[in-house]
């Protein structure tokens, strides 16, 4: 199963996407769930890893910020490397939420229909948020 997670700046889980089969790519799952549209409607932005490069359909007003990929024949400039370091530093806090998500051991043996897995994931999100607010 593949699902996407959005966290706040402190690494707390905010949103979990609908589950998709594991053969789906991250960018396809993001497009299927309409992440850019939802972020734009809410007036929010997101910082993502290089797997989401090219996801945002409006380059003049980006809602998802990713780093720069180096081409095989053209290395990154010093400025682009610095941008990648700044983005990585901002994403560090959110990576803790992804690590916490991997501790949900029930997901390692999950063999369900994607619809049922989505229900389980959303329930885990609610329980996690309740545990944090206690």
Q: If DSSP codes are grouped into helix, strand and coil, which group holds residue 48?
A: coil
Residue 109: the pLDDT is 67
Question: Using only C-alpha atoms, what is the Rg of the chain?
Answer: 16
The number of domains in the chain is 1
> Quick one: DSSP state of residue 49?
-
Residue 50: the pLDDT is 87
The model scores a pTM over 0.75: no
The answer for residues whose C-beta is within 8 angstroms of residue 71's C-beta and 6 or more apart is none
Predicted confidence band of residue 12 (pLDDT cuts 50, 70, 90): confident
User: Which residues span the domain enclosing 30?
Assistant: 5-133
Residue-wise pLDDT tens digits, 33-92: 888 888 888 888 888 888 888 888 777 888 998 889 998 899 999 999 999 999 988 888
Residue-wise pLDDT tens digits, 82-94: 999 999 888 887 7
Burial class from Cβ neighbours inside 10 Å (0-12, 13-18, 19+) for residue 115 reads exposed
DSSP per residue, 56-124: -S-TTS-SEE---PPPSSSPPPHHHHHHHHHHHHHHHHHHHHHHHHHT-GGGGG----HHHHHHHHHHH
Residue 114: the pLDDT is 73
d(CA 2, CA 23): 8
């Amino acid at each position: 199963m593949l699902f996407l997670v959005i966290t706040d700046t402190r690494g707390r889980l905010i949103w979990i996407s609908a589950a998709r089969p594991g053969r789906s790519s991250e960018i396809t799952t993001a497009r299927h769930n309409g992440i850019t549209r939802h972020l734009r409607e809410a007036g929010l932005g997101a910082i993502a890893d290089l797997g989401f490069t090219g996801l945002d359909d409006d380059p003049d007003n980006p809602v998802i910020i990713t780093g720069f990929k180096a081409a095989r024949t053209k290395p990154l400039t010093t400025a682009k490397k610095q941008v990648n370091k700044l983005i990585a530093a901002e994403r560090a806090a959110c990576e803790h939420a992804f690590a916490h998500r991997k501790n949900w051991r029930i997901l390692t043996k999950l063999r369900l229909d994607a619809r049922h897995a989505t229900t389980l994931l959303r329930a885990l999100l609610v329980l996690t948020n309740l545990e944090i607010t206690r």
